[in-house]
Amino acid sequence: MARVLIVGAGFAGVACARRLADEPRAQVTIIDRNGFHQFQPLLYQIATAELAPRDIRFDLDEMFARHANVETRTGEVVAIDPNRVSVTLADDTTIDGDVLVLGAGAQPNFFHTPGADQFTLPLYSLADALRVRGRLLELFRDAAAKPELVDDGALTFVVVGGGPTGVETAGALAEIVHDVMPHVYPHLAIAGAKVILVDLGHTVLTAFSDEAHGYAVRQLRRRGVELRLGVSVKEVAPDHVTLGDGTEIKTHLVVWGGGQMAAPVAFGSGLPQGHGGRIDVRPDLTVPGFPKVYALGDVANIPVGDGTVLPQLGSVAQQSGDWAAGNIIGDLEGTGRQPFHYKDKGIMAMIGRKAAVAEIGPHRHELNGRFAFAAWLGVHAQLLANAGAELRAFVSWLDDFYVRPAHRSAELLDPSTIDEPRIRKNA
Ligand SMILES: Cc1cc2nc3c(=O)[nH]c(=O)nc-3n(C[C@H](O)[C@H](O)[C@H](O)COP(=O)(O)OP(=O)(O)OC[C@H]3O[C@@H](n4cnc5c(N)ncnc54)[C@H](O)[C@@H]3O)c2cc1C
């Protein structure tokens, strides 16, 4: 019987545990600080009050209730010992295993931008997303009570980063700011509200084609997003952002989608770290020199074979988790490990209602607009269903995208509403 310790219940950790749940020769312990799996790609919809936390949060106990060989633990892993194959939790408990699987994900990389770690809000967890939502709604409430605050930047929202996270967040912010809030605060001068996207690069969604760049830029502008491209964020303060060209933007909400690096637990682990602090792995997903330690998903640099590494994507994390489990089973059976083979299904990003870009399959068949939007809905509905979601998110989307576009429930628009005690505890 092999004791498998999995750190992190993201796409990678859950996929690994799910595959091992059918393996009688493995005893699995999956540890996450939250006690639930959060569906990261939809965090921006929590932040912009499109979905409720319960729509993207999946309790680990429920997920593995029917699998006697999977134990779930809620706790912060503060240290790992790759030689002993053990982890230490914040309460000083040490858990020993025979195989260690690291799926601890990422954290924001502020690139030493002064003030960014203190005064911006990243989007990596449900707690982060709820902070953004809370701040957004409070700023509207305050501006409605004191309209002069608008001149002070109360309704100017800045998003840093023109990758998928920044673009999706900016598009969704523009919709709530310009389409939803005028109904909630009809007397507020919302014409003074702004969503500004800043990126050092000269376009957005650089991982996509030139056609997609142009489409995304047009769609964002059409939705009222102001683009400041080719300029860096020099400094962030509680009430403004200073750009590299000296421009000062008054704001009280800056969302950071400006880059990421390996989760803190990778640092000080003694494991080899490469680009972004991520743990370098061999083609079979084990760490060089540590054959009993796997690193997967966003915390790992997974080699492709041509000297590059795979991008930080949900599909990479999920497939690497499943593959690592296969290799663990291969070791138990004595058939050995296989090099990871990633099935590239493509990439997509939503810009707003009925507007998305998608590049489908390894040959990157391009779709923009309504077809890409429909593909986005289908793919995310399927992914959520696989995670164990009920129908709620789909009903919210249909309502929001097709039936009552400018409507949000009172629960979603209440800054103090957090629908589960566990999130309040961890926030
Ligand atoms: C806002 C946003 C939007 C995205 N959109 C897309 C998209 O549209 N499509 C796509 O393919 N990808 C998208 N991604 C990327 C995708 O979400 C990630 O690639 C994927 O979540 C990585 O999975 P993972 O399992 O490696 O890590 P994660 O999903 O980050 O999971 C890591 C888990 O580890 C836990 N953890 C970390 N450290 C510790 C510790 N010390 N102790 C205990 N627990 C710990 C965390 O709580 C977390 O549950 C998006 C990411 C973000 C942030």
Which of 220, 222, 223, 176 has its CA nearest to residue 198? 220
Task: Kindly state the tokens that stand for 341.
Answer: 């083979």
Q: Is residue 161 part of a domain?
A: yes
Q: Which residues are paired to 38 by β-bridges? A: 57
In a domain, 135, yes or no: yes
User: 312: Cβ–Cβ under 8 A, 6 or more apart, which residues?
Assistant: 106, 260, 297, 298
What is the number of structural domains in the chain? 2
Q: If we measure between CA atoms, which residue out of 316, 314, 289 comes closest to residue 301?
A: 316
Please tell me the predicted confidence (pLDDT) of residue 423: 45
Ligand 1: distance of its center to the CA of 125 in Å? 8
What are the per-10-residue average pLDDT scores of the chain (427 residues)?
97 97 96 96 94 92 96 97 98 98 97 97 95 95 93 97 96 95 88 94 93 95 97 97 98 96 96 97 98 98 91 95 98 96 92 90 86 87 79 75 76 72 41
Say if residue 11 is in the same domain as residue 100: yes
CA-to-CA dists, residue 64 to 71, 100, 132, 335, angstroms: 8, 19, 31, 27
Active-site residue flag, 333: no
What is the reported pLDDT for 386? 79
- Rounded CA-CA distance 270/272 in Å is 7
150 and 245, same structural domain?
A: yes
To test ligand 1's pocket by mutation, which of 29, 31, 32 has the most ligand atoms within 8 angstroms of CB? 32
**Shared domain check, 416 and 361:** yes
Of 312, 333, 354, which one is at a domain's C-terminal end?
Answer: 333
Torsion of CA 283, 288, 290, 291, to 10 degrees: 30
| Structure confidence at residue 60 (pLDDT) | 96
Which of 295, 310, 333 marks a domain boundary?
Answer: 333
CA 142, CA 219: separation in Å to the nearest integer? 30
Asked if the structure places residue 207 within a domain, the reply is: yes
Q: Clarify whether residues 284 and 365 are in a common domain.
A: no
pLDDT of residue 417: 66
Annotated catalytic residue within 50, 76, 148, 168: 168
Whether residue 416 sits in one domain with residue 353: yes
Domain's final residue, options 310, 333, 356: 333
Say what the pLDDT of residue 385 is: 80
Which CATH number fits the domain that encloses residue 268? 3.50.50.60
Here the CATH number for the domain that contains residue 416 is 3.50.50.100
Asked if residue 317 is part of any domain, the answer here is yes
In this prediction, residue 392 carries a pLDDT of 74
Q: 39 lies in a domain?
A: no
Same domain, yes or no: 275 and 328: yes
Count other C-beta atoms under 10 Å from residue 247's C-beta: 13
Q: Report the predicted TM-score, pTM, of the whole model to 2 decimal places.
A: 0.93
On whether both 9 and 94 belong to a single domain, the answer is: yes
What are the C-alpha distances in Å from 367 to residues 208, 220, 273? Answer: 11, 17, 36
Residue 273 Cα to ligand 1 midpoint, Å, equals 18
- Ligand 1 pocket: which of 16, 37, 298, 379 to mutate (most atoms within 8 A of CB): 298
* Span from the CA of 106 to the centroid of ligand 1 (angstroms): 6
Pocket-forming residues, ligand 1, beta carbon under 6 Å: 7-13, 31-34, 38, 40-41, 43-44, 76-77, 103-106, 123-124, 164-165, 263, 265, 297-299, 312-315, 317
Q: Is the domain of 273 the same as that of 411?
A: no
* Residue to probe by mutation, ligand 1, list 40, 77, 315, most atoms within 8 Å of CB: 40
309 within some domain: yes
56 within some domain: no
Closest Cα to atom 41 of ligand 1 = 77
Comparing CA positions, the residue from 348, 167, 129, 334 lying closest to residue 258 is 167
Q: Which range marks the domain in which residue 191 is found?
A: 116-258+346-426
Query: Domain check: are 29 and 80 in the same one?
Result: yes
Structure tokens at 74: 């809620």
**92 and 236 co-located in one domain:** no
HEC string of 226-260 equals EEEECCCEEEEECCEEEECCCCEEECCEEEECCCE
Same domain, 154 and 129: yes
Cα 310 to ligand 1 centroid, rounded to whole Å: 15
One domain, residues 289 and 171: no
In a domain, 62, yes or no: no
Closest CA to 121 of 48, 194, 207: 48
